[in-house]
Each structure stands twice: as C-alpha cells, then as structure tokens.
Structure 1
Amino acid sequence: MSVRTILTWPHPRLEAVCAPVEVIAPDIRALAEDLLETMYAAPGRGLAASQVGALVRLFVMDTTWKEGARSPVVCINPDVIERSDERATADEGCLSIPGVMASVERPTSVRMVWTDLDGMVHDEWLRGFAALCAQHELDHLDGIVTLDRVDDAQRDAILDAYEGDL
C-alpha cells in the first residue's frame, strides 16, 4: 500500500467520467488499498479513484473513523438507484479542492448498489453523513466536483478564495 498524490482542481482528470470496473483484479485491489491509505493520511472521509488519476468507478469511504474505530467501505461500480425526497444543505469539503467548503444541497438518504472487493453486491439505504459522502464521491466518478453543485455567486466566491491561495 502507498499514499498517492491527490489531484487538485482544475486537473482535467477530475472532469472525466470513469469507466466501469470489469474484473476485480489485483490492480483494483491495490488501488482500493492505496485509496484507503491516502484517504486516512489526508485525512478525509472519502476518496474516489479519479482523485488519484485512476479513471475507474471505484471509491472508498469511512464516515465514522474520526470519531472511533475505522470502518472502511470499498465501493466498486456504485450506483444510486433511489433518492429520498427529503433534502438538506450541508457544508462539503473536498480533498481535491483543499481549504474550500461549499454549501451543497443533496438528498438526505440514498439507496446505493455496489460491489465490494470480495465480489459481493450490496444494496443498502445510506442515511445522513454516509449518504452525503457517497453522493459526493459518486459525483467524482461522473466528473462532477463540488463547484458544479453550487450557484454562480457561491462558485465565484469560492474561486476567489481558492485562487487567492494558489
């Protein structure tokens, strides 16, 4: 396992739509392990393969590790198949846009299907922060960054602050 470099916006790979994982081969296992190590080192709660330059539909998350024991989840070919009507606005950070928080509205729960490293298919309702984190990481697999989820005024303010830090 190794810590990989996290790409920062506006790197073009962050705008790419990722390809499905066809086979859970050793390179996919190694990528998942590297993503987890990189996420924990960052320290973040989620990380998509595209954020380290690998354009495959894979992300990892661990939404509770900062409060307790680690409980990593590896999501291969994730897909949200149902969303709650209830929505909430929350501040989101992104390891690819360091130092920036954006106020993003999302469904508060989602039903997501994914495959784990053992080839088992999961079909679960994610709620609260887990739902928000999964949606954020899934956005990365579709070439969407937080800046694409805010209105023009918020985007302009974020870009002014972000560009000032470069």
Structure 2
Amino acid sequence: MAIRPIITAPDPLLREVSKPVDKVDDELRSLMDDMLETMYDAPGIGLAAIQIGVPKRVIVMDLAGEDEEPEPRYFVNPEILDPSEDMRLYEEGCLSVPEFFDEVERPARCRVKYLDYDGNEQILDAEGMLAVCIQHEMDHLEGVLFIDHLSRLKRERILKKLKKEQRLAAAS
C-alpha cells in the first residue's frame, strides 16, 4: 500500500468524468488499498479515485469515528437509485478543496448499487452521513465538486483563495 498525492482544485483533472471499471481484479484492489491509506493519512472519510489522478469509477469510505474500529467501504461503478425527495442540509468539506466547509443540500436517503472489494454486486440503503458521503464522492466521478453546489460568488472566492495558496506554496 502507498499514500498517493491528492489533487486539489482548481486542477482540471478533477473535472473529468471517470470511466467505468471492467472488472475487479488484484490491480484494482491494490488501487483501492492505496486510496484507503491515502484517505486515512489525509485524514478524510471518503475518496474518489479521480482525486489521486485515476479517472476510474471507484470510491472508498470509512465513517467510523476516531475511537471506533475502522469500517472501510469500497464502491466500484456505483449508481444511485431512488434518491429521496426529502432533502437535508449537511456541512461538507473535501480533501480536494482543503480547509473549506459549507452546507450543501442533498437527498436525505438513497439506494446505491455497486460492486464491492471482491467484485460482488451489492445494494446499500444509505441515509444520514452515509448518504451524504456517497453522493459527495459520486459527484467526483462526474467531475463535480461540492463547491459547485454553492453560489457562484462563494465558489469563486474559494477557488481564488486556493489558487493564491498554490502560488505561495510554489514560490517557497
């Protein structure tokens, strides 16, 4: 396993639509292991493959708290089915938009169809933080960032600050 660099906005790679995975094999499991290690190191609760520069429809997550046993989840080629009409506001952040948080409105519940770590088809009924996280990460697979759900003014302010931080980091 290896910790990989996380791409941050406004990198154009984050706007790419990820490609479906043909099969779950040892190479893909190795990618998912690297993603999980990278996510834990960041630290974060979810990571899409595109965030480490791999445009594949793969997500890893772990919503366990610091004092709980890890509960890694792996989603290959996830699809959202039956999102609820009931909407909820949640404060979101993102490893690709570091140090910025804001409220985003999303369906409170959804059903997700996906392949697991072993390539078996699964269906998961998600609500609360799990539903928010899976929808947030699935946005990445479509080239969408959580800041795209904010007003244009907020989004532009955040991107301007990120660009400035990147220029300062590159200069030092």
Is 1:29 aligned to residue 20 of structure 2?
Answer: no
Tell me which residue corresponds to 2:105: 105
Tell me which residue corresponds to 1:15: 15
Residues of 1 paired with 2:104 and 2:157: CA distance? 14
Could you tell me the TM-score, scaled by structure 2's length?
0.91
Paired residues, number: 166
Tell me which residue corresponds to 1:147: 147
Tell me which residue corresponds to 1:3: 3
- Judge conservation of contact 1:61–1:74 (CA < 8 Å) in 2: yes
Residues of 2 paired with 1:89 and 1:65: CA distance? 21
Unpaired runs of 5+ residues, structure 2, are 167-172
- Judge conservation of contact 1:102–1:158 (CA < 8 Å) in 2: no
Shift of 1:38: 0.4
Residues of 2 paired with 1:90 and 1:150: CA distance? 12
Shift of 1:72: 0.3
Residues of 2 paired with 1:161 and 1:87: CA distance? 30
- Judge conservation of contact 1:6–1:96 (CA < 8 Å) in 2: yes
- Judge conservation of contact 1:106–1:132 (CA < 8 Å) in 2: yes
Shift of 1:46: 0.2
- Judge conservation of contact 2:80–2:112 (CA < 8 Å) in 1: yes
> Percent identity between the aligned chains?
38
Farther off after superposition, 51-60 or 20-29:
20-29
Tell me which residue corresponds to 1:43: 43
Could you tell me the TM-score, scaled by structure 1's length?
0.94
Letter in 2 for 1:82: D
When residues 154 and 101 of structure 1 are mapped into structure 2, their CA distance, relative to the original with a 3 A threshold, is same
Farther off after superposition, 102-111 or 125-134:
102-111
Tell me which residue corresponds to 1:115: 115
Shift of 1:160: 4.5
Which aligned runs of 4 or more in structure 1 are off by greater than 4 angstroms? Answer: none
Residues of 1 paired with 2:103 and 2:165: CA distance? 19
Letter in 2 for 1:139: D
Farther off after superposition, 18-27 or 147-156:
147-156
Q: Deviation string for 1:3-57 (max 9, x for gaps)?
A: 0000011112100001100011222111000000000010000000000000100
Residues of 1 paired with 2:78 and 2:160: CA distance? 33
Letter in 2 for 1:56: K
Tell me which residue corresponds to 2:169: none
Q: Deviation string for 1:83-130 (max 9, x for gaps)?
A: 111111111110001111122110111111010121211111101000
Shift of 1:65: 3.7
RMSD: 1.3
- Judge conservation of contact 1:100–1:162 (CA < 8 Å) in 2: no
